[in-house]
Amino acid sequence: MIEITVELGERRYPIRIGEGLLRSQSLADFLTGSQALVVTNETVAPIYLPTILDNLSKSGVAADSLMLPDGERFKNLDTLNKIFDGLTEYRHNRTTTLIALGGGVIGDMTGFAAACYQRGVNFIQVPTTLLAQVDSSVGGKTAVNHKAGKNLIGAFYQPKAVIIDTETLKTLPDREYSAGMAEVIKYGLIADADFLSWLELNIEPLMKRDSHAIARAIAVSCEIKARVVAADETEQGVRAILNLGHTFGHAIEAFQQYKEWLHGEAVGAGMILAAELSMRMGNITEQDYLRAKTLIAAAGLPTEPPENISREDFLSLMGLDKKVLDGRLRLVLLESLGEAIVTSDFPIDKLESVLPA
Ligand code: NAD
Ligand code: GLY
C-alpha cells in the first residue's frame, strides 16, 4: 500500500492506494461515530457495495446505504435531496460519516451533502473510476450542477480519507479508463517532466491496466495534486494549473451539450490545443508538442476537436467560461514540458490560429 498525505494542517488526510483495499483497509478507522451511510449508484452497487458493507460490518458498523441513479444528468439538487432524505429517514446524527463509493459524480455529490448535512459531517472518498482516483476525490471540490452551468452549487470540503482500491479499475469501461488517463497525462505536462517520460515509456502496460504501472501512475498523480492543493486549497492562484486543457475542453463539452464526449476526452483534445498555443508562443518546441500529442493519442483519446465545432463556437464558449477574470480570458499554458503557467498574456491571433477554421 502507498500512502500520500494532503497537508492541510489539522484537516490533513491520507490517500491510501493499493490492490484490494476495499477488503483489507478498515474503513471504520476513519469514522467519527457509529453511524455511516454509503452513497453509490445503480452501476457500482452490484459490483462493490457488498464488499464495502462487509468491510464495515467486520468492525461492528452496521452501515446504511443509498443507491442513486447513474449519470452526470442526475448530479443536481433533486438527487442531492435524496441523500438528505436517506440521512433523515435513517436518523443519522452529526457524528455520522458519508462514504462516497463511485466515480466523480457520486464523490462530488456525496461530498457536498456531507458539507451541508447538519452544517458538516465526516466523509470518506472511495473512488472507483480512474478520473476520480487521480483527480476528483482529492482536494475537496464538491458540487452539483445547476441548469445554468456545471458545478455551480458547491463547497470546498475535504474528506477524512481517500481510499483507492486499484482493483476496481478492472471493471471500468475502456472509454472511462482513457478519460482518466487524460488527467494522469495532465500531471506530467504541468508539473513533472520525469513522470511524463515515464508515462511515455509505460503507456502500453498502463493501457493494459497492469496493476504495478497503474498504482505508480495514480500515486504520482495524487502526490502532485496533493502538493498543489496544499499550496492553494481554494484556487486563489496555483491550483488553476490543474485546469490545463480544461477551458478548451469545456467549450467542446458545452458545444455538445455534455452529450457526446466524456470530460476526459474533451480535456485530451483541449490539452493538445493548449500545447499547440504554447508552441506558437515559443514556450515549447515542435518536438515537445508532438510528444504530448503522441502520448494523448496512445491513451486512446481524441487529438482533434470534433469536426463540427468552429472557431467562432470555441471563442464564444470560451468567453463564457468561469475562468474568465475581469473580462480577460485566462488560460493554462505550458512554460516547458513539466511546467505550467496561468496567463492572460497571449496574442488573440495566436489563440485563433490553433482553433479550427
Ligand atoms: P462518473 O462518476 O459518471 O463515472 C463514469 C461511469 O463509470 C459511470 O457510469 C459510473 O457508474 C461508472 N463506474 C464507476 N466506477 C466503476 C467501476 N469501477 N466499474 C464500472 N463502472 C464504474 O464519471 P467520472 O469521470 O468518474 O467523474 C466525472 C465527474 O467528476 C464530473 O461530474 C466532474 O464534474 C467531476 N469532477 C470533479 C472534480 C473535483 O475536483 N471535484 C475533478 C474532476 C471531475
Ligand atoms: N480538478 C481541478 C481541481 O481540483 O482543482
With vertex at residue 158, the alpha carbon angle to CA 71 and CA 122, rounded to the nearest 5 degrees, is 90
Using DSSP, state whether 31 is helix, strand or coil.
coil
Q: What pLDDT score does 321 carry?
A: 47
Residues acting as catalytic residues: 119, 141, 183, 225, 235, 239, 243, 246, 250, 263
Tell me the ligand closest to 229's alpha carbon.
Answer: 2
Ligand 2 binding residues, C-beta < 6 A? 135, 139, 141, 235, 239, 242
Give the residue from 90, 97, 100, 122 showing the smallest Cα distance to 35. Answer: 97
Q: With contact defined as beta carbons under 8 Å apart, do 185 and 39 qualify?
A: no
Q: How far is the CA of 295 from the centre of ligand 2 (A)?
A: 22
Ligand 1 binding residues, C-beta < 6 A? 41, 43-44, 70, 72, 75, 102-106, 108, 128-129, 131-132, 135-136, 139, 141, 150-151, 168, 171-172, 176, 179, 263
Burial class (CB in 10 A: 0-12, 13-18, 19+), 33: middle
Measured by CA distance, the residue closest to atom 3 of ligand 2 is 242
pTM: 0.97
Q: What pLDDT score does 320 carry?
A: 46
Q: Which residues of the chain have pLDDT under 70?
A: 320-327
Phi and psi at residue 186, in whole multiples of 5°? -55, -45
Q: How many helices (H) and strands (E) does the chain have?
A: 13, 13
Q: What pLDDT score does 348 carry?
A: 87
Measured by CA distance, the residue closest to atom 2 of ligand 2 is 242
Q: How far is the CA of 14 from the centre of ligand 1 (A)?
A: 21
Name the grid cell of 267.
480535456
Which residue type occupies 313? Answer: D
Tell me the ligand closest to 141's alpha carbon.
Answer: 1
Name the grid cell of 181.
488517463
Walk me through the domains of the chain, giving residue ranges and CATH numbers. Answer: 2-171 (3.40.50.1970), 179-354 (1.20.1090.10)
Closest atom of ligand 2 to 242 CA is: 2
What DSSP character marks residue 245? T
Q: What pLDDT score does 328 carry?
A: 77
Phi and psi at residue 61, in whole multiples of 5°? -100, 120
Which residue type occupies 57? Answer: S
Using DSSP, state whether 265 is helix, strand or coil.
helix
Using DSSP, state whether 70 is helix, strand or coil.
coil
